[in-house]
Structure 1
C-alpha cells in the first residue's frame, strides 16, 4: 500500500478512522460524492472509453461474436469485445467461466485504482475497512455459472460443484469485497433493469445514514443464450441498433458489461483531496403495480420515482438540466417514460435535455443504471449532454428534447438518471455538481411491527412455527440421506386468473403479505379505498436463491429444442424481483419497492432496508417479505456442495411477511404493536465467495454495532436467535462471537433452524416473526438479538424488543 503522504495528511487519515465514533450527523455528511468510476462496455474496457464513445455518438452495437445468434430476431448487441479473465483472482473454477464476474472485477479494479492513484495517501488504508461497503445490482447474477452446472449434469458430465457458489447476486458482492478486504455492509440488490441505479442510490443512503464511510457500488450483467431467448420470445429485440424515442424504433438492443463507482462522504473526499466527479443526492423508488413486463401506460408509476428523488434531493424541477433516460427503444416504454417525465417535471419538462445511452451500448440490464449514472455524472462534470444515437423521425407520443445524434453543451447543476424494470420496479437517481443546497439530514424514527403472515414447514401462520420451536418438534422429513422441509400449500386457494402466471415464490409471498396486512388492520382494496394511502405503502422482498423454479422451467426447453421453445409467459418470472412485482400488482402497494438478495440473510436485510426507508419518512408502511422455495434441482445443488446430509443441515422453504410502521403512526391508528425494531447492523468478513471467518470477528462486529445503534448493553439482552445451521465452520464462528460479546454465560439461545430447517434467505425473518409471536402470549423481559449469516461471510444482527405502553399485546 502507498504511504507517501505528508504527516498532516496521514494524521487526517487517522482522524478519518475514528470519525465513525462521533456519529454521522456530527460529521455533516448529508453529501455523498462520486470520487472515482470504472466501466467495461462495448465501447471499451474503461470508463474513459465509455464516455468518449457516447459523447461522440459512437454506436457500439454490432454483430455478436461469442454467442450463436441464429434463430433470434436479431444478431446484434452491445457485446464486450475483449474480456479480461479476472475471475481467476477470486478462486473461480478454472474449467468454467462467468463474464459477469470478469466484468465487475474489471470495473471495480479501475474505480479502486483511480482512488488510490489520485489520493496523496492510500484511502483504503486511511478509512477503516469495517467502514468500507459493497453494494451490487444485477439482473442475471451468475446465470452463466448456473448454466454450466445445470447443462453439465444434464449431459452426464462431472462439473466442479464450487461453480454453484458463484450463482447468486450476493456471491458477486462478496467476491468484490474479498478482493479488497472490505468489511462493512456487503449487499446485493436485484430489481432487474433498475438494479444498478438502486445499488448506487442505496449505497449513497447507507453513507448518509451513517452505516458506512465509503462504498464500492455498481452493477454487472452478461449476455447469454438464455437471456437473448427470453427477450426474443417477448418480441422486444430490434433487428438494428435501438433508436429510443424515435418514430422508427423497433425495439431494444441488449448489451453487457459493468459500471462501478466509489462513493464517499463528501467531507472525507475533500479531506483526502479526491476528485469530485458528482454527488448522488437522492434515490427515488416506486412500483407500477400494473404488469410483469409492460410499464403503466400513463407513466404514473415511474413519475412517482422521479418525484420522490427530486423531493428527497430538495431541488426544484427547474434546476434539472439533463435526464439520462431509460430509453429502451420499445414503443410502450418510451411513450410511458415521456408521460412520466411530463408528470414529474410539469411545465419544466420542455426545457430539459433527455438522451438514451442505450442507443450506443445497448441495454445492460442490471448494470444499466450504474453505467448510465457514470455517463450522467460525466455529463455534469463536463457540462456536455451526450446524444440519443440512431434517432430518425419525431414521434408525436415522444415529444421531449431527445438530443438527436449529436452532443451539445449544457449549463446545469442537476441531472437525473431513470431506470425502470420488469415487475414494475422504478428507480431514479438525482445527481448534482455539488453546488446545490444539500438536503437536510434525515432523522430516523422508531419503527415497529404491526402485522405478521407466515408459511413454513410447520404449517400456516407464525403460531405453527412458534409451537414447533417451543416444543422442540422437528418439522422436516427424511428424504434419503437428507432432511427436507416443505411448505404445505394448495395453489388453488389463489384464484386461477390471478395465479396463472405466478410461480411458487410469488404465490407464497402474496398469501403471507395479504395475511400480514390483515393482521395489521390495513385494508388495501382494489377500489382504491385504503387505511393507508397505497402510494405510501412500500414493499421490500428478500430472497436468497431467487426464482429457480421459473428459471429451470424456462431454460430446460431451450437446451432441448432451441430458441423456439422459449416461453414468453414464463420468462418474466425468471427475474429475482418477479414475486415482488406480483405482490404490488395484486395488493396495490405501489410505494418504494425493491428486492434484496443477500444470501441466507435476505429476509433480515429486507426488514432492515424497509425499516430504514420507513423510519426516514419515505413511506407510511412497509411490507418486508422473505421467501425462498425448493425444487429438486435446488436440493441437488445444496447436496453437491456438501451442505445437506449428516454433516450439513436440513433444508427447507418458507415465506414470512411483516408489516412495519412508524411507532407514532401505529399508535395513532390504534394498531397492535407486536415488536419494536431498536437497531441493526450488517458486517462482512471480507474474505471472498463462500469464505467465513471461523473466529467470528464479523459476527461479533455486527452484534456490537447493532447493540450500539439500539442503545442496548450486552447484559440487557434476554435472548439470541441463532443463525446456526449445522455447518461446523459457520456455527463455530457464531459461537465464538457470542462468547466474545456476552462472555462465558450468554443469554438463552433460540435455534429455529434446528427445528424448522434452514429456509435459505428467509431465516432471519422467521426468527423475528417467531420472537414477535411469542410476545403475543406472554410479556417478554427485554431486548432480543436476531442473527443472520449469508453463507458467504456477510453477517446481520437485529435488535428487537417487545411493545411497551398501552398498545402492547400480551396474553
Structure 2
C-alpha cells in the first residue's frame, strides 16, 4: 500500500498553538517569558520537596480546571490530563474554521507523554496499600492512550487517535508522526503535542540519579549542576497546507520532516560521541530535503547535565557538519525546566515562534563557557536572526532520539521518498503456549485454552533459555520479553544485525500498560519509606520505552526507534508505524515488537473495572510478540523467505473517551473499510478475519456487528485470543503472527484481515496477503 503519488508532496502547516507552562497558561506567556530570558524555575508549592537535592522546578503556578467532561471519578483531577485539555482548548479556539471544515473522521490526535496518568495511578495504588477504597475508574486514566482518547472524547475526534511514549523525546516524536498521518492521507488535520506533570515519584527518581540541580539549570555553562524538572503541555494543530490556504488561515510554520534513531548505548546516558542523536538530525534533514547550511537555529535538548550537554554538542556538530558554525543554539529548559514528554512539543512551539518573529531565544542562567560545549548558545539575551529553517532536538532515556525540522516561507517541498512494498520476513511469539511458533500454532489449531482459575494466562517461558543472568541484570520481564521476541524474530528472518546494516534496522515497541512491574518495584518502597528508598537501578525501567531501548542495546538495531502505547491496540499500532517507515525508505527493515506482562496489581486493576471475572469469558494474558518487516527490494536482494505482504491498513476512533467505545462498532467498520480501500481490495476477496474478540462481550459484539456489515453474515472469523487470553498491547501482533502462519501453512487462502482495538475505542485493521 504505497501512499498515493500526490500524497508525497502534501505539505503540513502549523496553524495554531496552545501551551501551559511555568511561564503561564498560554502560548503568549510561554513566548514572552522565553524571549525575555525569564526563568520560571522556582520553589515547588504543591508537592513536599524534603529529602531532595533541590526544591525547585518549573511548576505550573495555577492548576487549570478545564470545563470539559472526560469522565473523571467524582472529586478527582489529573494534572497531566488537565494540562493537555488546557493547551488543546487554546489551539482549537484559535482555529475554529478547521473544526468546521474537517469532518471528525478526518481529524486525528497524537499525544506524546512520559509519565501519562502516573498521578491517578499513584492515588489508586496508595489507597490499595492502605486498605482503603479507591475508585477503580482511576486505573482508566493511567496509560498514555487514555490521555489521547479522553481528548478525542472531549472534541469528538474520530480519525487516528494515538499516543507515543518515547520518554523525553515523545513530544517531538508525536509531532513528526502527526505530520506523517497527514502526508499519508490518513487525516486532514491532527491535534498533536505532549503533556506531563510533576509528581513525587518523578522527582524522587531523578533525585536518585543525582541529576537534579539545586539552582535553576544552566545548560552548557562550565559550572552547571544538573537539570531542573518542569511540567505542562504544548499542543499544535497541523493541517494539510492546501486546506489551510483555502480556509484563509495563517501558516505559522511547516513541519517539513523529522528523524528518529536509537543510541543502543545506555539506559539513561547519551552516547558520549553523540552518534545516535546525530543520526536523528541527519535523518530529519533528509526527510525534509533541507541542506545543513540552511539550518540557522537549533532548539537544543539542553538539560544542563554533565553528560548530555557535551554529547549533544558533538551530535549537533556531526549532524550539521561545518554548517554548525553558522547556527545559533539555545535551551528552553533553562527557563521552564525539563517537561519530559511535553518537552519536545513545547520546544517545538518555541521554535515555531522563533521562526515567526525571526528571533533566536536565549539560554538563560549562562555563566562561563565550557570547553566541551563550544557552540553559540545565545547566552542570556535573545538575538535577531534571519531564518527559514530551524530544528528542535529531543533525546531520551533508553537512547531514543527525535529531531523535527520546521520551516517558514521556504518554497522547496519535501522530497518524495523512494517507495517500496513491505513484506513480513520474520515472526516470534512468547505466550502461554511457550516460545515456539509450532507450539503456538498447535495450540490455536487444537483449541487449547490456557486461562487459570483467576482468568490469567501467564507466558510459559524460561528466560534462562534465552538470556544469561548477566545480560538481564538490569532488565524487568517486559524488557526481557521484548529482547527475546526480537531476537527470535530476527533469527526467523535470517537477518543478523551487523555493523553494515544496524543503522538501517529499527525497532518500534508497542505496549498497552507498560512497565508496571518496575513501576511498582520503584514506587512501593518510596511510598513506605520516603525519598531515600528510591532505587536508581530500577527507575530507568519505569519509562514506557525502556524495553525498546533494551532491544537496541542488546541486539544493536539503532535505526528508527519509537514506542507506541495505543492500549490493547499498541502492537498493531507498532506494525503500521513500522510499515510506513519501511515503505518510505527510512529503514530497510523494522521490527514491530509488542509486549505486556502480568502482575497482581495489573490483574486487580482489571478486576476493579469489572472485565476480569470467572463468568466473563475474558482472560488476561502476557506475551512478547515480534514481526520483522522489510522493503521488498531488500528482502529479495538477500534471498529472504517471506510470509506475505502487508498490503494496507486503516485506523479510526469512536471518539467516546477513555474506557468507552461505540456499541454499534462504527469506528471498527471505518477502519476495516479504510484498509480495504487503501489496499484496493473488495471485501469478498478477504479469506478470513483475525478478530480482536477476547471475551469482553460488549466490545466483541461491537466488532462483530462491524464485520457483518462489511463482509456479510458468512465471514470466516478467527478469534485466537478467546483461547490464548488478551495479551493487552501484544494482541494485534499476536493475531498478525497467526494470520501470517495461516497463509504460510495453507490453512487459509486469500488476504487476511487483522483487527485490533483498544478499550477506549481506537481501532486498527491490517491486510496481509501471500506474495
TM-score, normalised by the number of residues in structure 2: 0.98
Residues 430-462 of structure 1, C-alpha deviations (whole Å, 9 max, x = no match) = 000032411123364210110112100111122
- Aligned with 2:136 (options 143, 161, 174): 161
Equivalent position of 1:310 in the other structure:
285
Using the alignment, how far apart are the partners of 1:485 and 1:73 within structure 2?
Answer: 41
Conserved 8 A contact 2:7-2:184? no
TM-superposed CA distance for 1:802, in Å, is 1.9
Secondary structure of 2:535's aligned partner: coil
| From 33, 40, 44, the counterpart of 1:64 | 44
User: 1:461 is matched with which residue: 431, 436, 439?
Assistant: 436
- Report the equivalent of 1:133: 108
How many Å apart are 1:30 and its aligned residue?
2.4
* Alignment partners' CA distance in 1, 2:120 and 2:623: 25
- State the 1:160 CA deviation: 0.7
- Matching of residue 795 in structure 1 with residue 763 in structure 2: yes
Match of residue 180, structure 1, among 155, 163, 182? 155
CA displacement at 1:88 relative to structure 2: 5.8
Query: What is the 5 A alignment of 1:53-92?
Result: 53-86=33-66, 89-92=69-72
Instruction: Compute the displacement of 1:366 (Å).
Output: 0.1
Change (3 A) 1:565 1:129: same
Of 495, 501, 525, the match for 1:522: 495
1:331-351 Cα deviation digits (max 9, x unpaired): 100000000011111111111
Cα distance in 1 between the residues matched to 2:178 and 2:566 = 14
Give 1:464 deviation, angstroms.
1.6
Distance in 2 between the 1:512 and 1:758 partners? Answer: 18
Partner residue in 2 for 1:263: 238
Q: For residue 114 of structure 1, what is the aligned residue in structure 2?
A: 94
Aligned to 2:109, what secondary structure does the other structure show? strand
The answer as to 2:404 corresponding to 1:435 is no
Asked whether the equivalents of residues 444 and 612 of structure 1 are also in contact (C-alpha less than 8 Å), the reply is: no
Q: What secondary structure is seen at the aligned counterpart in 2 of 1:428?
A: strand
**TM-superposed deviation, 1:664:** 1.9
Task: For residues 637-686 of structure 1, give each alpha carbon's deviation from its aligned partner in whole angstroms, at most 9, with x where no partner exists.
Answer: 11111111112510000011111101121111110001210000110001
Q: 1:38 to 1:477 in 2, by over 3 A?
A: same
Query: What is the match of residue 103 of structure 1?
Result: 83
Whether 1:215 aligns to 2:195 is no
Trace 1:380-399 onto structure 2 (pairs within 5 A).
Answer: 380-399=355-374
Stretch of structure 1 that moved more, 418-427 or 735-744: 735-744
Aligned residues of 1:115 and 1:123 also touching (Cα < 8 A): yes
Show the 5 A alignment for 1:360-759.
Answer: 360-442=335-417, 444-479=419-454, 482-491=455-464, 493-525=466-498, 528=499, 530=500, 533-645=501-613, 646-647=615-616, 649-746=618-715, 748-759=716-727
What's the offset of the Cα at 1:236? 0.3
How many angstroms apart in 2 are the aligned matches of 1:130 and 1:489? 45
- The superposition leaves residues 521-569 of structure 1 with CA deviations (integer Å, 9 ceiling, x where unpaired) of 11125xx3x5xx1000000010000000000000000001000000000
Q: Is the 8 A contact 1:487 1:653 kept in 2?
A: no
Match of 1:5 in 2: none
Per-residue Cα deviation, 1:756-788 (whole angstroms, up to 9, x for no partner) = 000001111001101112233227421010000
Match of 1:765 in 2: 733
Asked whether the 8 Å contact 1:485–1:757 carries over to 2, the reply is: no
Alpha-carbon distance, 1:487 to partner: 3.5
The answer as to whether partners of 1:692 and 1:729 remain within 8 angstroms in 2 is no
2:294 maps to 1:319:
yes
Does residue 40 in structure 1 map to residue 26 in structure 2? no
Structure 2: distance between partners of 1:464 and 1:165: 34
Q: Which moved more, 1:445-454 or 1:751-760?
A: 445-454
| 1:179-235, Cα deviation, whole Å (9 max, x unpaired) | 110110000000000000000010001111111110000000000000000000000
1:488, distance to aligned residue in structure 2 (A): 2.8
Alpha-carbon separation, structure 1, partners of 2:708 and 2:750? 20
Which string of whole-angstrom CA distances, capped at 9 and with x for unpartnered residues, describes residues 338-370 of structure 1?
000111111111110000000000000000000
The number of residues matched between the two structures is 768
Secondary structure at the aligned position of 2:471 is classed as helix
Q: Show the counterpart of 2:751.
A: 783
The alpha-carbon distance between structure 1 residues 793 and 161, as it changes in their structure 2 partners (threshold 3 A), is: same
1:233 to 208, 223, 230: 208
Deviates more, 1:494-503 or 1:218-227: 494-503
Q: Deviations over 1:166-189 (max 9, x none)?
A: 110000000111111011000000
Once the two structures are overlaid, the 10-residue window that deviates more, 89-98 or 495-504, is 89-98
User: For 1:580-637, what per-residue CA distance to the aligned partner results, in whole angstroms no more than 9, with x for missing partners?
Assistant: 0000001110000000000000011101000000000000111110000001110111
- Partner of 1:606, secondary structure, is helix
Query: CA–CA distance in 1 between the matches of 2:385 and 2:68?
Result: 43
Worse-superposed segment, 646-655 or 48-57: 646-655
Work out whether residues 8 and 417 of structure 2, in 8 Å CA contact, stay in contact via their aligned partners in 1: no
Is 2:7–2:183's contact at 8 Å kept on the other side of the alignment? no
For the 8 Å contact 2:522–2:539, the answer to whether it is kept is yes
Deviation at 1:87, TM superposition (A): 7.5
Equivalent-residue separation in structure 1 for 2:28 and 2:137 (angstroms):
35
Contact persistence 2:7–2:185 (CA under 8 A): no
Going from structure 1 to structure 2, the CA distance change for 1:490 and 1:742 (only over 3 Å counts) comes to same
Task: Write the distance in 1 (CA, Å) between the matches of 2:104 and 2:192.
Answer: 15
2:167 alignment counterpart:
192
Answer yes or no: is the 8 Å Cα contact 2:208–2:534 preserved in 1: yes
Point out where structure 2 has 5 or more consecutive residues left out of the alignment: none
1:277-323 Cα offsets, whole Å, 9 max, x none, are 10011110000000000000001110000000011111111111100
Contact 1:491-1:507 within 8 A present in 2 as well: no
How many Å separate the matches in 2 of 1:106 and 1:387? Answer: 26
Equivalent residues of 1:503, 1:550 under 8 A apart: yes
Gaps of 5+ in 1: 1-22, 117-121, 804-811
Query: Which deviates more from structure 2 when the two are superposed, residues 767-776 or residues 578-587?
Result: 767-776
